[in-house]
Amino acid sequence: MAKKLSIMDSGWLMMETRETPMHVGGLALFAIPEEAPADYMESIYRYLVDVEGICRPFNQKIQSHLPLRMDAGWVEDTSFDIDYHVRHSALPRPGRVRELLALVSRLHAQRLDPSRPLWESYLIEGLEGNRFALYTKMHHSMVDGVAGMYLMQSRLATSAQDRLPVPWSGKWEAERKPRKSSGAPAVSGVSGMKNTVNNLRRGSGQLVDLLRQPRDGNVKTIYRAPKTQLNRRVTGARRFAAQSWSLPRIKAVAKQHGGTVNDIFLAMCGGALRRYLLSQDSLPDDPLVAQVPVALRSADQAADGGNAITTVQVSLGTHIDDPQARLDAIQDSMKGVKSRLGDMQKAEIDVYTVLTNVPLSLGQVTGLSGRVSPMFNLVISNVPGPKETLYLNGAEMLATYPVSLVLHGYALNITVVSYKDSLEFGVIGCRDTLPHIQRFLDYFEASLAELESQA
């Protein structure tokens, strides 16, 4: 029997078009061990494909009969072909990071085959510095970005000597521990309906309260963003840029300004966006508003699949020239939405999430997104990652960069993942709507440096 998709998970299927593929991904760089044999990369490829069985959610495909996949459910793919999903590629010489990012840009622009399980992984050799890469993409209906990152990283080893099964191996299914029952009493039909009505009332009330906030204040919600160059229709072409920043350095700046790492990350984004829009002569008078996902589950729940996130809207202070004042505005905005979210129960958050995401889905399906006022300007995510060194079949993971998605009306996404002592930035955008996306890397650095220089 097919496992029915949730409303949120189905929404990602409904929104997908040739111009807006709905998958998220990750690019990991690995060191080839010293004195590795000549056939080392072939041995890594065999390790990835020579598996006994495929575990969930990697063996699940979509089953649907109604238009817009309104009845979509997950079923096991009984004719799963591992050689289709795991592919071996090589970079052209000289194998610089530039060539790698260009390849990932092209791969990320291609839709996943809806008749198969919605994921693919590419082993990429030929990277300079005696390195190789693994780029993996998974449909957003299958996992959200946070869960996808947790899922892949939780199945890497913490020692070069350990040899764990590959993330999609059926061995993980056998080792999965059954979830303990919460022990909560069953809810009767009448009580359940009453709870649903109460949660709907409270969740919608939270949204109404936010919509009543002053438009010129720092506390934001949907439909408080100016229309900018970022909020146009997109094509299917993508450009991906990535770079690492020292986490101790960012922590030092956070301590200097009495904030958090996330505050400084958002300030780097706000400063970079201000610089970028000034370079395009298109900086609006009102501050840009970022939609920031917030995870609602733990790492050990990632293999359940699906989406378990809500979102908040944060002012980026892009209308403010002074970096300190811009940071103050960002911190005030984040404090306001965190306080609001902290006052809500899980069921209320679920209702609030649906109410704030249904307009996004409708805008994509109807074609209105990119033609009307945006709900927000872009998505910015901060995903906590592992603090210890990870290994893939003995190869040390050097860095891991998130590769997210863009939508009509929302042509840019900035996501970071922490790994050991680094903050790994991944910037993805429509290459036709937003020229020179790679400049954001310089603008992030300039924005961090100006905060460092503040007394």
Q: Which residues are catalytic?
A: 140
Number of neighbouring beta carbons within 10 Å of residue 445 = 15
- What is the Cα–Cα distance from 153 to 8, expressed in whole angstroms? 24
Tokens (6 digits) for 77: 């793919």
Residue 95, C-beta contacts closer than 8 angstroms, at least 6 positions apart = 126, 127, 128
Tokens (6 digits) for 426: 């991944």
Q: What is the per-residue DSSP string for 291-342?
A: EEEEE-S-GGGGGG-B--EEEEEEE--TT--SHHHHHHHHHHHHHHHHHHHH
- What is the Cα–Cα distance from 155 to 424, expressed in whole angstroms? 20
Tokens (6 digits) for 34: 């010293």
Report the DSSP beta bridge partners of residue 427.
241, 414
What backbone torsions phi and psi does residue 450 show, to the nearest 5 degrees? -70, -30
Q: Are strands 378-383 and 289-295 parallel, antiparallel or unpaired?
A: parallel
Sign (positive or negative) of CA dihedral 76, 80, 86, 87: negative
Q: Where are the beta strands (DSSP E) in 32-130?
A: 60-63, 73-76, 86-90, 119-127
In 3D, which of 380, 362, 381 has the Cα closest to residue 371? Answer: 362
**Alpha-carbon separation of residue 264 from 258, 271, 317 (angstroms):** 10, 10, 13
- What is the Cα–Cα distance from 128 to 76, expressed in whole angstroms? 39
